[in-house]
Structure 1
Amino acid sequence: MATSSSRTLALQRNSWEQNRFMENLMTKIFSFYDEQSLIDVTFKVSNPTALVPAHRLILAAASPYFENFFNGNQGTNPVIEINDIDSDIFEHLITFCYTGQALITVNNVTAMLNAAIILQLDDAITSSVDYLMIHIDEITLQGAYALERETQCEVLRQKIIEYEIQNFMEISRGDEFLNFDVEELQRILESDNLHITREEDAYDAIKRWFNYDVPARQEALPLLIGCLRLPQLNVDFLMKHIQPLPGCELLAFKALSWIREPIARPMINMRFTEPRGSVLQIVMNPKVQQYNKTEDKWEEYGSIKIDYEDYGTILKDENLLFIGGGKSDATLNVVRSWNIRNKTWQNLPGMIQARSSHCVVELNDTIYAIGGFDGNNPLSSVERYTTSDGWKLVKSLIDTRYCARAVILNGKIYIIGGFNDNKLIKSVECYNPDSNTWTSCADMKICHNSPGVAAQAAAHNGHIYVLSRRGAERYDPQQDTWSQICFLEVGPGRMTCVSLNNELWAIGGKSKSTDKSCASVFDEENFCWVERWSLPESEVRNCFVVPESLLSSI
């Protein structure tokens, strides 16, 4: 019998000893399962009939359902009948109890989720929901809604809400949106992370929903209009569109007073006055700069002096990770983490391969380091990092490449352009993490060296955008085709690209009008670039959209 002292002793083991012990233990358990050794329970499952052997202890540890069942009157039977789960799904989930992995597909994800809920396998529920949301284009949002109603699964409900917030512009134009209940729509509109181009877009969505059933929804209209960031709308809009709405006169009056009488703001009771909570931060070694939307200016947020370059950088949770890089004649495998909230550094496990001028991305809570240069030769190797497994090599690229760029779209990684040896290349490859394979895509029309890249499934119609001083183009993965878009005319300087509030932004490069680094936004409707801001006088190395909740006071 385990005692508190034995559990304490186990926790005090050094991590290497503990990891080795757990690895050996799990290897033995897997072998017992594979060899059907020491089996103490067999399930007889229908449709089609099959016998599934297992170990009570493992299943009870994995699921409260099995723990309670085995402690019940029928739990001691050597053969137990299961009638409400298909045999192949049940066997997948028994395997999950041993390995933490299951073969989830588009065809079986619904049955897998239903069965995982019955068996109270929380991790399998999460895996099924994550798979469903990654493959939402195949399953369809309507299918996800129907499954959530059927299962009442809270994990799926939360993921759908996140998806609705991220893809609000597209969803608000669909028929399903017209049947949203008030509470659901209010929850979405209140979000600081709502992905809209401008506050007027949220207003347009409310009006479309309201006009679908005016008599039944008239009472809810002020509640939803009150979720808008009304002071961010201009006076003409407030007077023309908000004030005439039934029940919204007081909301419009408060917003107009807020705008016209700043001194009176402490006495005005309004729920939402600030812009929604996405903040743009740019990394310009040795500084991190942050855009202040209220004052329309850039401010220094922190110092990140690094004495090497050509590293890869990603935003992971509340940290900026700096991965690999080069210093003098040395190529590095180091990984360092800078916490955005408290502005402190931490060293993380180093990569297997030292590399610089490589690509780094995060997909499904896994970090990938792709290609690059080892100091002598371009690389095709790819490795990925998880907190449980550390760095592991995965399938190599088809082509060696460095100074390329990578982007995530629809659950896959696309790596674009760069150099192969000393030659610029147009080639593009796509990585599928489910099959651990790289496939070739259509070549770009232009060669790009360290271009800016961005992708957003909903706002940009499933396109990948690539731009550099050589030109700009976009990729349609459904058609596997590239098309050129209007040229962004900027002078020398590093350039990066980001999707902010459902708009495509080019950050960096010198403005021809001011001779300063600039930020420009792509006006898709008029098919042109519009220069918005001047940037601090430094080279832009990376740009990230950071939730305001992570930021410390400047």
Structure 2
Amino acid sequence: MDPSSPPFLLAKLTPLHSEQLLQGLNVLRQHQELCDVVLRVGEAKIHAHKVVLASISPYFKAMFTGNLSEKENAEVEFQCVDEAALQAIVEYAYTGTVFISQDTVESLLPAANLLQVKLVLKECCAFLESQLDPGNCIGIWRFAETYGCHELYLAASKFICQNFEDVCQTEEFLELTHSELDEIVSNDCLNVVTEETVFYALEAWVKYDVQERQKYLAQLLHCVRLPLLSVKFLTRLYEANHLIRDDHTCKHLLNEALKYHFMPEHRLSHQSMLLTRPRCAPKVLCAVGGKAGLFACLESMERYDPSKNSWETVASMADKRINFGVGVMLGFIFVVGGHNGVSHLSSIERYDPHQNQWTVCRPMKEPRTGVGAAVIDNQLYVVGGHSGSSYLNTVQRYEPISDSWLDSAGMLYCRCNFGLTAL
């Protein structure tokens, strides 16, 4: 260093400087000094600095820097903003703090949303999410949808589904519109022990204003997974429930549900599959077939439940299999091809977890061992493998509703024992 150079110090005091700057600006505002805009709500007038407001709000920035008349005006009138909410947002601009309570949030959130003050809006949403309970979750759900608060809307929707058995006992639930109720009870994540809860909730909603709401019963009954109800319950509804008995469409839906129990061939119809998906189905791991030791092939299947940390043996396949393909679609497990220890297989089997049984389906056109299988759009693609005499590049597509096979474009090369996935 040159000894003749004057000494200097560069002090980095950014947090202290920022705090001092805000405090200084706030003092100027409180004394109405150097203020260049007045925000008027009714008879109330709020003095502020345009540059401060524009720094925290794209709404104010556009107002004061664009081609709007407010750019030159010293006074701006607001007609759709609550006075206390606007005052709170101006305070936030100068202090970085805002007071949120049950009394203020309903006016503060719409104001923050309109003025595009994102941090205040985020804090309002977080506050409402922390206040969710069975008695207010539907109101918060509607509120979030009205103001486009997507994350709060999802949180409230999740809360409604998780606590449905309590929520459906509230006054808010009975005051739902039919379209809102349809959206809720259609949700796959509705947390109910039995579909009876869903039916009784719909029935209570209809009876709350039966003259006006009875016309929606059939539409809403479509949302109940009727085939998951017992034969006894379905029969009792058919015989004793006058709301059901007097509606032709409702009776038809019950008939279809009874067919599911008494006529297994109807279970693969598209409608039956939609109506038998369990709510909040637990995720389990299935181990199917394979080898026990050096030579023994297995037809058995075991199921692991992570929530219980336990394995259980379930129904066995019709055929022993190794080196087969497997896919999951429409709530069923499909296993295809493979080898049974003696010969290559062209057969395919379907496992129904609700009935705990396997069904043999229409076989492939040729046997395949070491095959690849993947599901796209509820169709099972079976690719390559070995037929017992040659390696294959052919691809077949299985359509479960019609229980039929179609040829698809073949691979460029023959392959066996390879990896395959749908993306």
Q: Judging changes above 3 Å, is the alpha-carbon distance between structure 1 residues 241 and 97 closer, same or farther for their aligned structure 2 residues?
A: farther
Match of residue 253 from structure 2: 251
1: CA distance between counterparts of 2:279 and 2:94? 44
2: CA distance between counterparts of 1:106 and 1:97? 22
Q: Which runs of 5+ in 1 are unaligned?
A: 1-22, 283-287, 300-551
Match of residue 32 from structure 1: 21
1: CA distance between counterparts of 2:138 and 2:262? 47
Q: Is the 8 A contact 1:169 1:196 kept in 2?
A: yes
Match of residue 128 from structure 2: 132
- TM-superposed CA distance for 1:79, in Å, is 4.0
Q: Is the 8 A contact 1:164 1:171 kept in 2?
A: yes
1:5-404 matches, within 5 Å, as 31-36=20-25, 41-45=36-40, 49-53=45-49, 55=51, 59-60=53-54, 62-70=56-64, 71-77=66-72, 79-84=74-79, 85=81, 89-94=85-90, 96=92, 102-136=98-132, 141=136, 144=139, 148=143, 152-155=146-149, 160-241=156-237, 245=244, 246=247, 247-267=249-269, 269-270=271-272, 271-279=274-282, 289-290=305-306, 297=312
Query: What is the one-letter code of the residue matched to 1:252?
Result: L
Q: Is the 8 A contact 2:138 2:173 kept in 1?
A: no
Q: Which has the higher contact order (CA 8 A, sep 6+)?
A: 1
**What SS does the aligned partner of 1:279 have?**
coil
- TM-superposed CA distance for 1:35, in Å, is 2.2
Q: Judging changes above 3 Å, is the alpha-carbon distance between structure 1 residues 97 and 291 closer, same or farther for their aligned structure 2 residues?
A: same
Q: Is the 8 A contact 1:113 1:128 kept in 2?
A: yes
- The TM-score with structure 2 as length reference comes to 0.51
Listed one character per residue, the Cα deviations across residues 460-493 of structure 1 (whole Å, up to 9, x for unaligned) are: xxxxxxxxxxxxxxxxxxxxxxxxxxxxxxxxxx
1: CA distance between counterparts of 2:148 and 2:95? 24
Listed one character per residue, the Cα deviations across residues 285-326 of structure 1 (whole Å, up to 9, x for unaligned) are: xxx95369xxx9599xxxxxxxxxxxxxxxxxxxxxxxxxxx
Q: Is the 8 A contact 2:63 2:71 kept in 1?
A: no
Select between 105-114 and 122-131 the one with higher mean Cα deviation. 122-131
2: CA distance between counterparts of 1:101 and 1:166? 33
Q: Is the 8 A contact 2:35 2:48 kept in 1?
A: no
**What SS does the aligned partner of 1:269 have?**
helix
1: CA distance between counterparts of 2:141 and 2:72? 37
Greater strand proportion: 1
2: CA distance between counterparts of 1:112 and 1:276? 37
- Indicate the percent of aligned positions where both proteins have the same amino acid: 23
**What SS does the aligned partner of 1:165 have?**
helix
Match of residue 337 from structure 2: none
Query: What is the one-letter code of the residue matched to 1:197?
Result: V
CA RMSD between the two structures: 4.4
Q: Judging changes above 3 Å, is the alpha-carbon distance between structure 1 residues 265 and 45 closer, same or farther for their aligned structure 2 residues?
A: same
Report which of the two structures shows the higher radius of gyration computed on alpha carbons: 2
2: CA distance between counterparts of 1:290 and 1:82? 60
- The TM-score with structure 1 as length reference comes to 0.40
Match of residue 523 from structure 1: none
Listed one character per residue, the Cα deviations across residues 331-378 of structure 1 (whole Å, up to 9, x for unaligned) are: xxxxxxxxxxxxxxxxxxxxxxxxxxxxxxxxxxxxxxxxxxxxxxxx
**What SS does the aligned partner of 1:36 have?**
helix
Q: Is the 8 A contact 1:33 1:54 kept in 2?
A: no
Listed one character per residue, the Cα deviations across residues 171-196 of structure 1 (whole Å, up to 9, x for unaligned) are: 32223322321100000001122122
Q: Judging changes above 3 Å, is the alpha-carbon distance between structure 1 residues 204 and 83 closer, same or farther for their aligned structure 2 residues?
A: same
Q: Judging changes above 3 Å, is the alpha-carbon distance between structure 1 residues 142 and 255 closer, same or farther for their aligned structure 2 residues?
A: closer
Q: Which runs of 5+ in 2 are unaligned?
A: 1-11, 29-33, 286-303, 315-420
2: CA distance between counterparts of 1:203 and 1:251? 13
Select between 199-208 and 105-114 the one with higher mean Cα deviation. 105-114
Query: What is the one-letter code of the residue matched to 1:276?
Result: R
2: CA distance between counterparts of 1:223 and 1:61? 51
Greater helix proportion: 2
Report the number of matched residues: 268
Listed one character per residue, the Cα deviations across residues 196-250 of structure 1 (whole Å, up to 9, x for unaligned) are: 2321111111111122233332331122111112222111112222576122222
Q: Judging changes above 3 Å, is the alpha-carbon distance between structure 1 residues 51 and 143 closer, same or farther for their aligned structure 2 residues?
A: farther
Q: Is the 8 A contact 1:45 1:86 kept in 2?
A: no
- TM-superposed CA distance for 1:104, in Å, is 0.9
